[in-house]
Chain A
């Protein structure tokens, strides 16, 4: 009679010689199953905490950026904190995306979703991001119906990591109000110095495009010589170029240019 008691089956399995095919397959299967269980429970259990960390980090950086612009912070304060509007824009049309609640919008999920991203050709992909999300959440601050501040998320490849930043533009949509790096993994002490407040403080007041509308803003090697240039960091040329390329791409025709055009024309 076949013994179906699981305990004796287990004992029988352990008693098998290690080199037998049954035991090899059984051990491989059991080890994989236990490991898979451990990894997935860690991911499920810790996922919400990690997500909360990421959100808190983004919010902290947004707040720090607003705090670096006392005039804007005062404006938000005066209106009771509601005037900083969050909207999800569709970069394909340059208009506000329909049927999407900005509060529950998950930029990270969209970034990896093939249905909501556009693959860039080599010529388009100045910033080295591969595919561009179609839906992006931006912040707009208005005073008495007049545009005062627009905060745009930008990203691009630096020397060894993806650099993400928030670029704040003043109401004329051509003057930088602030730049805040939100994520980077550049060389500590060199490229990573783009995170330093001292470097980010060089950005406010820089001009974006010249009279013909060409994007001129860039990080240069050495000292800036005109209002379109930002001082580079010594030893971090490629990180600086990464930031320049990110600005050039995201404010160009494949980035926020249609959105900015609509904002200028008052259609948003």
Chain B
């Protein structure tokens, strides 16, 4: 039961992107098409999973003073290996992802899970936690990628869904969808929807916003 919660928790209840707002830079950069979002999701989940397991295995022997460097070294090596594999076997995709696979190193999500969970838990539950967080991240990336590709280019995985006006159809592509700000809008709307359905996720306001009358009285 607890294992299931470790796995499913991060997918919606404690989603790394929409609740913890981690790893959103890459969520903006690679979601212009569903295919790149998919490859990025797989790459991140693989790195997160492998990194968490390795760090969890040696967690008792990592000196506290150099623990972040050890974690980053392991994560960076896994990222390079993943990038090399993508360049070798999914070459076309690697050209479209360009530097973003390499930037998984700087994704707060990976280091965050290593530091917060894998350093204190056995490999089994670390793996489940990593998988859950990877899937949570992937879910958001795929939703954003789906909306951006569909409305920005009228295609899904490169297959035409809406015939655009360039090709003689009716659909006028929303070019905004292909630019980074649209990912922010979609992400914001997603967070709004999730928090409307699950009010428990709403954070307490740090400051009360003063009404006009109160402001005048002060």
Contacts and interface: CB of A to CB of B under 8 A. Distances in A.
Contacts of B33: 188
Given A19-B63, A31-B70, A189-B152, A46 B87 contact: yes
Contact of B77 (A28, A38, A49, A187): A38
Contact of A46 (B85, B98, B173): B85
A86 B217 CA distance: 83
Contacts of A54: 91
B175 A28 contact: no
A263 to B, nearest CB: 32
B62 A27 contact: yes
Determine the main DSSP class of B at the interface with A: helix
A27 B84 contact: no
A18 B73 CA distance: 18
A235 B175 contact: yes
Contacts of B173: 189
A161 B78 CA distance: 26
Given A39-B80, A185-B98, A235-B175, A50 B64 contact: no
Interface string A180-198: 0001010111100000001
B61 interface: yes
Nearest to A196: B166
Q: Place the interface of chain A in its size category.
A: 20 to 34
B81 A38 contact: yes
Given A27-B61, A50-B91, A188 B178 contact: yes
Contacts of A183: 95
Given A18-B64, A23-B63, A31-B73, A185 B95 contact: yes
Nearest to B33: A188
B69 interface: yes
A18 B61 contact: yes
A185 B88 CA distance: 18
Nearest to B65: A24
Determine the main DSSP class of A at the interface with B: helix
B143 interface: no
A28 B178 contact: no
Contacts of A112: none
A24 B66 contact: yes
B178 A189 contact: yes
B32 interface: yes
A31 B74 contact: yes
B65 to A, nearest CB: 6
A27 B70 contact: yes
A57 interface: yes
Most chain B C-beta atoms within 10 Å of own C-beta, residue among A14, A20, A185, A188:
A188
Interface in B66-125: 66, 69-70, 73-74, 76-78, 80-81, 84-85, 87-89, 91, 95-96, 98
A218 B61 CA distance: 62
Given A23-B61, A42-B81, A57 B91 contact: yes
Interface string B168-192: 0000010100110000000000000
15 contacts: A27-B61, A27-B70, A28-B70, A31-B58, A31-B70, A32-B73, A38-B78, A42-B84, A42-B85, A46-B88, A53-B87, A185-B98, A189-B153, A189-B173, A190-B179
Given A27-B62, A28-B69, A31-B73, 12 more contacts: A18-B60, A18-B62, A18-B64, A20-B63, A39-B80, A42-B85, A43-B84, A49-B88, A50-B91, A187-B179, A189-B32, A235-B175
Interface of B: 32-33, 58, 60-66, 69-70, 73-74, 76-78, 80-81, 84-85, 87-89, 91, 95-96, 98, 152-153, 166, 173, 175, 178-179
